[in-house]
Amino acid sequence: MNIAVVGLGALGIAFATFLKKAGHRVYGIIKPEHESRFINRVVYVSGIWGKHRAQLDDITPIPEKISDSIDLVILTVKSYDTENALNSIKPLVSQDTLILIAQNGYGNYEKAVEIYGKNRVLLGRVIFGSKLTDKNNVEITVNADDVRIGDPSGTIPENTVKHIVETINSAGIPASFAPDVYQILWDKILYNCALNPLGALLECSYGELAENPHTKHLMDSIIFEIFETTKLNNIKLNWNSPQEYLNHFYTNLIPPTRKHYPSMYYDLKSGKKTEIDALNGAVVKIAEKAGTAVPVNKTITSLIKFKELKSL
């Protein structure tokens, strides 16, 4: 396949390296200021999936430079760059091109559908840990589950979706077909909304948040507000009630990641913008759309934005 990976950060380098090593033609689309990071178009992966090196077919901030017809675009940019990235790749997207959204949070898939239509956009839920250790080198630190890929709209032929899944899986990144990928993505949104901003604001691990009664109460409130908001917006979740999810959250999800600090914590420490608008901020927006209020999520969002302004 001819594949364009948009955004060569921790996640993008991982996808690009494995897919190139598997024999595909792989192009990296980056911002102009990142060109100096990649010498001779070489990228590296280390960690739990072994050591790998690949030389991509091109790495460029100018999509128009790519003459090949692109079969698959994998979008891995931060959520605040989604709209700009989607518009920038229009020269690459033909009638037969599929776009895989492999990002955190709510709104990325929806924006891609708005621009390109349901019949071209796949949704992926990524839950392996990848961190940038050098300009062109990432380490895979943990893999909690397969990359789950599906078509929420049901308009793309199932065999086509499964072919994309197998392409990624056979390249060495565990992946599986998920007709219910939208609900699966919301599982991750619930988890991230409860943990990421509080861990970033209070500079503590997930385990510390769960063990303290004050932060535990805040996380419970965030979850309850999300359940109410998604219900009002007819967004289907995998859980029948917030209490059912919270039991799973504290019993199964927190213990194996109790020492983990959220990426949002490192973003603030590095003076970078966070993805709060695709997490708790998105909850605030869809709550307003439904005519309801989510005071805890709104407060958390405002506090993160305060910290962003201080650190940028």
**From the CB of residue 50, how many other CB atoms can be counted at a distance below 10 Å?**
9
Number of residues that this document lists for the chain = 312
Sign of the alpha-carbon dihedral angle for 106, 111, 114, 119: negative
Catalytic option among 188, 289, 298, 305: 188
- Could you give the CA distance from residue 265 to residue 221 in angstroms, rounded to a whole number? 21
Is there a contact between 282 and 300 (Cβ–Cβ < 8 Å)?
no
Q: What is the CA radius of gyration of the chain?
A: 19
- Could you give the CA distance from residue 9 to residue 4 in angstroms, rounded to a whole number? 14
**From the CB of residue 46, how many other CB atoms can be counted at a distance below 10 Å?**
16
- Residue ranges of alpha helices (H) inside 124-254 are 158-170, 181-202, 206-211, 213-232, 242-248
**From the CB of residue 310, how many other CB atoms can be counted at a distance below 10 Å?**
9
Tokens at 35, concatenated: 């060109």
188 is annotated as an active-site residue: yes
Torsion of CA 113, 230, 266, 52, to 10 degrees: -50
Q: Identity (one letter) of the amino acid at 51?
A: K
- Could you give the CA distance from residue 86 to residue 7 in angstroms, rounded to a whole number? 11
- Could you give the CA distance from residue 59 to residue 29 in angstroms, rounded to a whole number? 6
Instruction: Identify the H or E element spanning 131.
Output: strand 128-134
Residues with a known catalytic role? 188
